Structure 1
């Protein structure tokens, strides 16, 4: 009986992680501050050409399990939801074109630590953006 209860709780938690709605008013926020790493994410600010936002949008949309939550290139800010392959944990990455800079704010929704996943993804995206 306890085993079935644990299995049911695990299934319910997994369903919540995959099906919980993402509120754009909470996650589609402008990146603030300078480069920094924190327990479940990262902020990066880099010099960028005018076409960098469009190029980074193409890179982000080419990343597996990635969808757009809110925003557009025309708006100058886009927030992506990137889900982990196995469990579907959502990470949110907001990219803002601010003059001659790209501001990128990547963070996880669940858990206190992301084990560097967001930092690695942003670093990879920025490497692909370089000529």
Structure 2
């Protein structure tokens, strides 16, 4: 009984440690703040790229929409530089997803991807499509 209890405590500690790592792992701007290079729309297992016409003020308008998204903050970049990377964390586990948006002329190039796991279950694509719908409606 004592050995089984010890194993359970170790497993619990590993699970809690993993959850804390996901929540508290630093986000290195040098790794995540990179130009999207989204010349075509593409969907892959852990994210999406999109290129949309948005006018010369597209980044500023989309930035306001993104900043209003719960659990989302700016990681790196500026509107003045024409490229910004955001981190959005999932509600329960706090998984970080990174979205980089760059203004290229009158178009926006967007690259949204997850940090952990092989698949984001379509979360990044749905989030980006919601942002773009709000941009188009606004």
Cα-Cα RMSD: 0.7
1:112, CA displacement in angstroms?
0.3
2: CA distance between counterparts of 1:36 and 1:122? Answer: 12
2: CA distance between counterparts of 1:67 and 1:3? Answer: 37
Query: Runs of 5+ in structure 1 lacking a partner?
Result: none
Matched, 1:28 2:22: no
| TM score, norm. by length of structure 2 | 0.93
| TM score, norm. by length of structure 1 | 0.98
Matched, 1:6 2:2: no
Aligned residue runs from structure 1 range 84-103, under 5 A: 84-103=90-109
Matched, 1:44 2:50: yes
> Aligned to 2:66, which of 60, 64, 72?
60
1:99, CA displacement in angstroms?
0.4
Larger Rg: 2
1:52, CA displacement in angstroms?
1.3
- Tell me the residue number matched to 1:123: 129
1: CA distance between counterparts of 2:35 and 2:132? Answer: 18
Q: How many residues align?
A: 131
Deviations 1:67-103 (A, max 9, x none): 1100011010000000001000000000000001100
- Please say if residues 58 and 107 of structure 2, whose CA atoms lie closer than 8 Å, have aligned partners that are also in contact: no
2: CA distance between counterparts of 1:44 and 1:35? Answer: 4
- Tell me the residue number matched to 2:3: none
2: CA distance between counterparts of 1:74 and 1:30? Answer: 15
